Structure 1
Amino acid sequence: LAGATYATRTISADRAIHKAFSGSVEDFMKRRGGAAIISKGRSLKKSNAALFDRIEATYGVPPGVLLAIWGMETGFGASMGNQNTVSAILTLTYDCRRPDYFYPHAIAALKLVDRGTLTSASVGAMHGEIGHTQFLPGNVLKYGVGNGNLRDRNTALASTANYLKGHGWRAGAGYQANMGAIAGWNSASVYQQAIARIAEAIDGN
C-alpha cells in the first residue's frame, strides 16, 4: 500500500465513461473497430483452433465470444493498459460513483499482491482491470484458472470462458439466448449487442 497514489487519470476516465457507451450499436462498433475485430478474430480462431476447441469442450463457450471480448477489450492483447492497478482500484473505492462496487475488488487486489499474482508495480486498464480480457481483481480470484495470470493469453481466454459459464452461459444455445451471460461481463447494452454481433460473425465464418 505504501506505493499507492491517488489515480487522477482513473477518476477522469470514470467521470467520462458514459460517453464511451453512447450512441447506436452501429456507431459503437465503428468507434471500437468492429470490422477489424471480426477479421482478426476469424484469423486467430483458425490459427488457434486446438486452444479454442479445448476451451469449448471444458466450459461450453464457443470461440467467437471469447475473441470478440478479447478484441474489444485490448485489441487482442495489444493494449492492456498502463495505469497502476492497485492505485486505480483503491482510488475508485475511495472517490467514485460506486465505492461499494469497487471495495471487494480492492480487497481482492491486496490478496493478489499477497499471492504474488500482482505487485505494487502491476499495471492495467484505467479501472484496475487486468490482462488480455480485462478482469477486475475480484473476478480474477473467483474465475481465474490455472495460476491466475491474466497477462498470459491462454489463461485469460480460459478464465473468460469460466466467467461466462459462471454467469449462466448455456452451451449450444446461441448468442441471443446467452445475452444474460454477456451482460454479466459488461452492463452497457451497446457493448453486449456489439459482442453478440461480432461473435456471431466470427463463428459464422
Structure 2
Amino acid sequence: MSRGFRPLLLSTLVSLFASSAMAQQAPACGGDLATFLVGVKTEAVAKGVPADVVDRALAGAVIDQKVLSRDRAQGVFKQSFTEFSQRTVSKARLDIGAKKMKEYAAVFDRAEKEFGVPAAIITAFWALETDFGAVQGDFNTRNALVTLAHDCRRPEMFRPQLIAAIEMVQHGDLDPATTTGAWAGEIGQVQMLPEDIIAQGVDGDGDGHVKLKDSSPDAIMTAAKFIASLGFKAGEPWIQEVILPENLPWEKTGLQPGMTAGDWFALGVKPRDGNTAFPQLAASVVIPQGRHGVAFMTYPNFNIYLEWNQSFIYTTSAAYFATRLNGAPPYDGRNPEKGLSDDGMKALQTKLQGMGHDVGKIDGILGSGTRAALQKEQLRLGLPADGWATDAVLNAL
C-alpha cells in the first residue's frame, strides 16, 4: 500500500531544517524545463556525477501532470484505528508475513545481527507499504522527481531527491526510462526515497547493487539499516497492549513525555501479556478511540514509526502489526464510544480554534493538535480527558 509523500521522513527533515541557509534559500524551480534541467545537471556534476551520466539520467525527462494532480489532491486520513487496523492487519497478510519471515530467515537473522531490528518490524512495514512488493506504484520515478522538483511548492524537498536519483543511475541502481514507483518518488518494496537509498542502501543479495524493487534481500537489509538510523534500540519493546483502570488520570494519556512504564504500572495500568520487564523506559499510554477502546503503551522505539509516517493511525497499526507477527494475540477492541462525523469533527475543531487552541488546519482529522486541545477542554469541564471526540463532548463545549 504505497503512501506516496512521507512528510516526516528523516532525510526530508534534514533537507528542510539542517541549516538556516537551506531554509532561507529555496532552490531554483519553475520556468522553462530545459533551463531548469541545465541547473540540475550543474548541481549533479558539482557533486561528482559524470556529465554523461547526468545527460543519460535526464534524457527524455518530462513533467508528469498526473503527479501534480496527485500532489494537489492528497487525501486526508479519516479512518478510525479499528477500521484501518482491521482492514490492513488481515489474516492473509499475517499468513504471508509469516511465510516471508520463514523464506528469508537467513536474511532477517543477518539484519537483526547487524542492525538490531527484528524481522517482525521490517515485515510489517513491507506488508503495509507494498503488500510484500506486489503494489509498488507505476509512476516513472525520474519524471516524478523532475516534476516535483520543478514545481515550486516544495522544491527544497524534492530537488535533493532528484539529485540522489541521478546518483542511483550512476551506480546502476535506477534506470531513468523504466524504473517506476510511487507518485512522490519512493521506490521499491519498502518505498524509500532516493536520498535514503543512497545513505542507507544495503546490497542484501551480493550482486553489487541495491535494487529495492526486485530484490527482497536488498529491501530487507536496507529497511533494517534505515530503521536503525532512526534510533531503534535493539532488545527493547515498541508497543504493548494494556488494560486500563477506570480511575486513570486521562489527561496524562497521549504521546507526551514525563512518564515511565513503571509510573503507569503504579497507576494500575496492566500489560495484557503480563510483561513488565521495562519499567525504567519512557512510556506513553495511547488510546486511539478513547478510554472505552483499545489501549496501548508505547516505548521509545515507537518513535521510529512516527519518523516513517506522520499518521498516528498508520503508525499505531504498523506497530501493532509487528507485535502480531511477533506472536501477540489480536487486540481487545472493547466498546469505544462512537466518534464524530466529518462535519462534527470540523465543527469541534472550529470551536476549539475559536477558544484559542492551535488545532492546525480545519480538516476533520482528530490529529495530535486537536487531541491535545480537546484534552485541555475536557479537563476544564470536569470530563474524562481522553482526547476522544464524541457528540457528548461537542455538545458540552
Q: TM-score, normalised by structure 1?
A: 0.91
Residue in structure 2 matching 1:128, options 175, 185, 205: 185
Q: Deviations over 1:3-60 (max 9, x none)?
A: 11112222222233343x33222222345x3213223212222333222122111110
Residue in structure 1 matching 2:236, options 140, 154, 173: 173
Structure 2, unaligned runs of 5 or more: 1-57, 204-208, 239-297, 329-397
Q: Secondary structure at the match of 2:159?
A: helix
Structure 2 counterpart of 1:27: 83
- Using the alignment, how far apart are the partners of 1:27 and 1:9 within structure 2? 29
Root mean square deviation, CA, Å: 1.7
Distance 1:16 1:30, change over 3 A: farther
Structure 2 counterpart of 1:150: 212
Structure 2 counterpart of 1:17: 74
The higher-RCO structure (CA 8 Å, 6+ apart) is 1
Deviation at 1:116, TM superposition (A): 1.9
- Using the alignment, how far apart are the partners of 1:29 and 1:16 within structure 2? 24
- Using the alignment, how far apart are the partners of 2:67 and 2:85 within structure 1? 24
Q: Secondary structure at the match of 1:17?
A: coil
- Using the alignment, how far apart are the partners of 1:96 and 1:168 within structure 2? 32
Distance 1:24 1:118, change over 3 A: same
Matched, 1:164 2:227: yes
Q: Secondary structure at the match of 1:22?
A: coil
Aligned runs of 1:85-100 on 2, under 5 Å? 85-95=141-151, 97-100=153-156
Structure 2 counterpart of 1:137: 194
Q: Deviations over 1:147-191 (max 9, x none)?
A: 221121101110000001001000111113212112222222222
Distance 1:38 1:14, change over 3 A: farther
Structure 1 counterpart of 2:139: 83
What is the identity percentage for the equivalent residue pairs of Structure 1 and Structure 2? 37
Amino acid at match of 1:150: L
- Using the alignment, how far apart are the partners of 2:152 and 2:82 within structure 1? 30
Amino acid at match of 2:199: K
- Using the alignment, how far apart are the partners of 1:89 and 1:28 within structure 2? 29
Q: How many residues align?
A: 203
Distance 1:48 1:114, change over 3 A: closer
Q: Deviations over 1:46-89 (max 9, x none)?
A: 33322212211111001111111111111101122211001111
Does the 8 Å contact 2:126/2:190 carry over to 1? yes
Distance 1:9 1:34, change over 3 A: farther
Which is richer in helix? 1
Structure 1, unaligned runs of 5 or more: none
Does the 8 Å contact 1:37/1:198 carry over to 2? no
Residue in structure 2 matching 1:51, options 98, 101, 107: 107
Structure 2 counterpart of 1:198: 321
- Using the alignment, how far apart are the partners of 2:123 and 2:189 within structure 1? 11
Structure 2 counterpart of 1:115: 171
Amino acid at match of 1:190: I
Deviation at 1:97, TM superposition (A): 4.0
